[in-house]
């Protein structure tokens, strides 16, 4: 065995060992805690040595193979060595800790994570602290510390502000907003000192980005070769289409719910819910989804359902919740009963705004703060008696009017509440267009019919495409155009839903399982439109993947609430990071589906062609995943001072990158030139994506388990 082969086997063997160790570390962390995982694996000499030897042998092997003449390829691999070197420097020389300052307090010391006091070459003083809130809400939008840096050596004083995603850098030290005291008179700052490691790592990131761009312009690359081979083939599919619909059945209990017109007026009231001001319809929709798994019940709208709990509790309390057998008698059933009781007592309906003087906490016509109350909440003691009666008794008066069948009086009181809301809280109410957009969104945001139609169509196309490929036949151009039009219609629907959610929430839909799954479906349909003509195989795969991601969006949370974005998430880097990750996961899904088709194809020519299709998708997928992962590292460094913390989702993203990166080395790993091995590996590799997104959230936990 020659030296070149030995280097190759060492490099790839160590890469496999590192992947196994990282996967094991995430399980160890879950079972035994973070300190054990770090001491046993992440910071162990063996783990560090494996990375170092793998990097060195890999570079030597590339040089011996003459890869230096392919500049982009060589620099791509060299950038990883630089990134690893930066990480090692950070591990050896970097220091992290905390500073707790009270307003007016000055210090020139900070406490390291291992409990030792460290000296600063300057002093830092907290001159003020403030919490910013979203308009009309008590949800924090940012935390801001005003500090003064006093440097005796330079005879200088600098006033700076530290907030989320806005760090203070001075003399190699970086200060981050971490937490604060409850009385808002003190602030806790994270401190990081790593003058060399971050610079080396960021240089590696920059070279990596340039190399990825250059790779697509490099002659004789694996990507270009795959594209050239694919151009010789044209594949299409036949189609059958089935439509599905839903029929809502009216029950015989219409007297036990508000009439449609009155329920519509109730739905248009404002309510303080989920730390923001929303249409009452939003609260009703979320409660109905949580209780019954759908937006309404037996033909009644969600507003009719929730007001039914309030005004006709004795009847509605016998309506069974949507529960699995194993959930009966558990906390799940108790939670559903709790929200019904909150509605039945009016406690959930914070629909009465009152102006409060922030300093005294008393009601005031010129109060600088608006607080929303329910009819059962303790009201300010000095509140005008007429307003007190209105807030306390309005829902009771509606109930009395309903008992007397005086629907006109009930409607009048509901409209009166709406007028009161506008009079008191007009300065903080959402705009009319945003309010209407949210009501439209509430009616269309659960993609039940689209996902059923998409999955059905995709499965039929999948079978039909397989038959056509086996017979080496093509389908008419008109049919391909029809499929593109259907993909465009689905894309328009998804664009509309995501656009509404973006407009309502005020931030891009890149956080939360519902949003990212819908975003993934949007990306799939976009890929079908853009590449359906040159790569027709994408169409059946795309409809299946889009359907399943919409299905997950519908089932992953029966209550995908629109919420304010946490301060730490308010960074444009987050949006780009999530977008890159979702694009790569989408493309990996297409590769897995192509692998399934490749395994069932009887003709070896078709198997080879599908391998080329996968490679064409795989190159950009791996590179986009790489960019997204390291953009996430930059965002983390800006937000809380650590560009890599071995969080389970970070670790599994790196594992996924390495697992799929192996598939791009067919020129050196001959097994990947076998289409059956390639397709089998592609299917199994997708397990790493599923663990990264779902497994971490459901099983492993960590800082990223919310996303």
For the record, the structure tokens of 155 come out as: 């005879």
Distance, CA of 195 to CA of 201 (rounded, Å): 11
DSSP class per residue in 187-216: EEEEEEE-TTHHHHHHHHHHHHHHHHHHHT
pLDDT at 242: 31
pLDDT at 575: 67
Question: Residue 52: exposed, middle, or buried by beta-carbon count in 10 A (0-12, 13-18, 19+)?
Answer: middle
* 169 dihedral zone (left: phi>0; alpha: psi -120 to 50; beta): beta
Collapsed DSSP state (helix, strand, coil) of residue 221:
coil
Distance, CA of 135 to CA of 370 (rounded, Å): 10
For the record, the structure tokens of 186 come out as: 């003190």
pLDDT one-digit tens code per residue, 540-580: 778 887 887 787 777 644 444 555 555 555 566 676 777 78
106 contacts 123 by C-beta, under 8 angstroms: yes
Taking CA atoms, 258 is separated from 280, 335, 399, 400, 445, in Å, by: 14, 25, 11, 13, 24
Distance, CA of 18 to CA of 23 (rounded, Å): 9
DSSP class per residue in 644-671: ----HHHHHHHHHHHHHHGGG-TTT-GG
H or E segment at 100?
A: strand 95-102
What distance lies between CA 691 and its chain's CA centroid? 15
Taking CA atoms, 434 is separated from 378, 441, 510, in Å, by: 31, 10, 19
For range 448-475, the mean pLDDT:
72
Distance, CA of 637 to CA of 322 (rounded, Å): 44
Decide if pLDDT at 171 tops 60.
Answer: yes
pLDDT at 702: 54
497 contacts 441 by C-beta, under 8 angstroms: yes
Distance, CA of 176 to CA of 191 (rounded, Å): 7
Which of 575, 566, 440 has its CA nearest to residue 501? 440
Least confident of 116-125, 186-195, 251-260, 537-546: 251-260
As beta bridge partners, residue 244 has none
pLDDT one-digit tens code per residue, 346-365: 888 999 999 888 777 788 88
Decide if pLDDT at 225 tops 90.
Answer: no
Which of 546, 498, 550, 502 has its CA nearest to residue 526? 546
Sheet holding 173-180, edge to edge: 156-163, 140-151, 117-133, 106-112, 95-102, 186-193, 173-180, 168-170
pLDDT one-digit tens code per residue, 624-676: 899 888 888 887 777 766 777 888 888 999 999 999 988 888 777 788 888 89
Average pLDDT over the chain reads 81
DSSP class per residue in 324-361: -GGGTTSHHHHHHHHHHHHHHHTTT---EEEEE-TTT-
For the record, the structure tokens of 326 come out as: 């194993």
Collapsed DSSP state (helix, strand, coil) of residue 250:
coil
pLDDT one-digit tens code per residue, 45-74: 999 999 999 888 888 887 877 777 778 888
Domain residue ranges of the chain, discontinuous segments joined by +: 3-69, 96-193, 233-246+446-565, 279-365+378-429, 567-707
287 contacts 556 by C-beta, under 8 angstroms: no
Longest dimension (CA), the chain: 96
pLDDT at 559: 41
615 contacts 222 by C-beta, under 8 angstroms: yes
For the record, the structure tokens of 435 come out as: 């309010």
Which of 56, 28, 57 has its CA nearest to residue 41? 28
pLDDT one-digit tens code per residue, 406-430: 999 999 999 999 999 999 988 889 8
Taking CA atoms, 380 is separated from 330, 371, 388, 662, in Å, by: 38, 10, 9, 66
């Amino acid at each position: 065995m020659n030296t070149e082969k030995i280097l190759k086997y060492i490099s790839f063997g160590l890469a496999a060992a590192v992947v196994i160790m990282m996967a094991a570390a995430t399980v160890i962390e879950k079972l035994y805690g973070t300190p054990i995982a770090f001491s046993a694996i992440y910071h162990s000499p063996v783990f560090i040595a494996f990375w170092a030897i793998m990097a060195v042998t890999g570079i030597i092997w590339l040089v011996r193979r003459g890869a230096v003449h392919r500049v982009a390829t060589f620099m791509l691999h060299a950038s990883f060595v630089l990134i690893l070197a930066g990480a090692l420097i950070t591990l050896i020389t970097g220091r992290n800790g905390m500073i707790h300052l009270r307003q007016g307090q000055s210090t020139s010391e900070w406490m390291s994570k291992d409990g030792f006091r460290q000296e600063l070459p300057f002093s830092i003083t907290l001159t003020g602290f403030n919490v910013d809130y979203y308009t009309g809400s008590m949800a924090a939008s940012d935390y801001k510390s005003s500090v003064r840096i006093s440097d005796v050596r330079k005879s200088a004083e600098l006033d700076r502000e530290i907030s989320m995603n806005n760090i203070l850098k001075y003399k190699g030290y970086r200060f981050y907003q971490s937490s604060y005291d409850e009385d808002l008179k003190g602030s806790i700052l994270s401190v990081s000192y790593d003058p060399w490691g971050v610079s080396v790592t960021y240089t590696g990131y920059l070279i990596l980005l340039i190399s990825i761009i250059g790779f697509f312009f490099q002659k004789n690359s694996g990507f270009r070769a795959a594209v050239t081979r694919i151009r010789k083939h044209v594949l299409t599919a036949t189609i059958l289409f089935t439509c599905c619909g839903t029929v809502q059945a009216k029950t015989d209990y219409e007297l036990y719910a508000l009439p449609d017109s009155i329920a519509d007026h109730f739905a248009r009231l404002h309510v303080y819910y989920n730390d923001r001001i929303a249409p009452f319809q939003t609260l009703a929709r979320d409660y109905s989804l949580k209780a019954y798994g759908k937006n309404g019940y037996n033909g009644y709208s969600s507003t009719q359902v929730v007001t039914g709990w309030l005004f006709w509790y004795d009847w509605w309390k016998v309506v069974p919740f949507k529960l699995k057998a194993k959930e009966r008698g558990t906390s799940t059933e108790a939670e559903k009963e709790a929200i019904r009781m909150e509605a039945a007592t009016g406690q959930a309906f914070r629909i009465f705004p009152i102006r409060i003087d922030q300093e005294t906490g008393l009601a005031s016509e010129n109060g600088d703060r608006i607080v929303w109350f329910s009819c059962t909440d303790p009201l300010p003691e000095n509140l005008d008696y007429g307003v007190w009666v209105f807030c306390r008794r309005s829902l009771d008066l509606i109930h009395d009017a309903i008992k007397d069948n005086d629907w006109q009086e009930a409607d009048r009181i509901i409209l009166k509440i709406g007028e009161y809301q506008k009079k008191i809280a007009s300065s903080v109410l959402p705009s009319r267009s945003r309010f209407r957009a949210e009501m439209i969104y509430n009616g269309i945001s659960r993609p039940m019919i689209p996902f059923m139609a998409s999955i059905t169509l995709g499965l039929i196309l999948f079978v039909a495409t397989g038959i056509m490929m086996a017979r080496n036949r093509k389908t008419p151009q008109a049919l391909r155009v029809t499929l593109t039009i259907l993909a465009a219609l689905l894309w328009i629907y998804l664009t509309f839903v995501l656009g509404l959610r973006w407009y309502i929430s005020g931030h891009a839909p890149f956080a939360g399982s519902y949003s990212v799954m819908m975003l993934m479906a949007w990306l799939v349909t976009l890929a079908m439109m853009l590449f359906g003509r040159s790569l027709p195989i994408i169409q059946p795969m795309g409809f299946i993947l889009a359907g399943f991601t919409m299905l997950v969006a519908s089932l992953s949370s029966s209550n995908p609430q629109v919420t304010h974005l946490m301060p730490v998430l308010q960074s444009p880097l987050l949006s780009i990071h999530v977008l890159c990750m979702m694009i790569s996961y989408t493309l990996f899904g297409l590769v897995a589906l192509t692998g399934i088709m490749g395994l069932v194809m009887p003709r070896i020519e078709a198997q080879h062609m599908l391998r080329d299709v996968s490679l064409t998708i795989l190159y950009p997928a791996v590179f986009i995943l790489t960019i997204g992962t390291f953009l996430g590292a930059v965002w983390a460094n800006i937000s809380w001072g650590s560009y890599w913390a071995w969080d389970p989702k970070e670790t599994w993203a790196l594992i996924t990158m390495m697992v799929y990166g192996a598939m791009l080395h067919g020129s050196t790993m001959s097994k990947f030139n076998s289409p059956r091995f390639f397709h089998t590996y592609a299917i199994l590799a997708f397990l790493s994506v599923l663990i990264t997104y779902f497994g971490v959230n459901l099983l492993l936990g960590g800082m990223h388990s919310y996303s």
